Amino acid sequence: MTTFYDATQGLNAAWNITVNNQHDMLPYVPLFADYATRVNHITEFGVGPEQYKLNSTMGLFYGLSKSPSPNKKMICYDILYNRHFRTSC
């Protein structure tokens, strides 16, 4: 039997942290989330270092999770920090 983890609760908690803390991306995070609800694929370049807490990434990922598309995909790259995340939701 396969068990699937419902990450909705964790995603909502991460979203609340992102939009309730002060940071330079705060005005844009809801906008990114809104745009992301309209697509089925996002590729983000420039994820940034740990201290930025992946704020833009969280906005995009949260919005993508709300997209009505059945096949969603998000790929994030950061050349400077040598990161590459790939996820589907």
State the total domains in the chain. Answer: 1
- Residue 1 located in a structural domain: no
Q: Range of 69's domain?
A: 8-88
- CA 44 vs CA 2, 36, 40, 86, 87: distances in Å: 31, 11, 13, 10, 12
Residue 2, in any domain of the structure: no
Tell me whether residue 19 is in a domain: yes
| pLDDT tens, per residue, the chain with 89 residues | 455 456 778 888 889 988 998 888 889 999 999 999 999 999 988 776 655 667 888 899 999 999 999 899 998 887 765 555 555 55
Q: What is the pTM of this model?
A: 0.77
For residues 48 and 22, is the Cβ–Cβ distance under 8 A?
Answer: no
